[in-house]
Amino acid sequence: MDSAVLLFTTRGYAATSVREIVEMAGVTKPALYYHFESKEGIYLAILDDLVRIADEGIAASRVATGTARERLEGFLLGIYGSSRRRRRGSG
């Protein structure tokens, strides 16, 4: 999904082709379609992942103590950490 995120971010959804995604990811189209139904499916999976990461950050900030600034910093660091773990494939 990282290749799709990069391409969607830099080129836009409409300008990104499945061919470009598989080339950048180093996989075949059949491998991609085994995991995702379509380009839209990839996009929706990315959005689901982003929503999950934000939800985790919000949940953590609700139970955190400290000033509003400290809780916001914790929320943002949590999102950053979740994103890094996802890119490494461990979260």
From 88, 79, 78, 81, select the one nearest 1 (Cα to Cα).
88
User: What is the chain's percent helix, strand, coil content, to nearest 5?
Assistant: 80, 0, 20
Torsion of CA 73, 79, 85, 87, to 10 degrees: -130
CATH entry, 2-88, from 1.10.357.10, 1.20.140.10, 3.30.1490.20, 3.10.450.230: 1.10.357.10
- Per-residue pLDDT of the chain (91 residues), as tens digits, is 889 999 999 999 999 999 999 999 999 999 999 999 999 999 999 999 888 888 877 777 777 788 888 888 877 877 777 666 666 654 4
Contacts of 16 (CB under 8 A, 6+ apart): 4, 7, 8, 39
Q: What is the pTM of this model?
A: 0.70
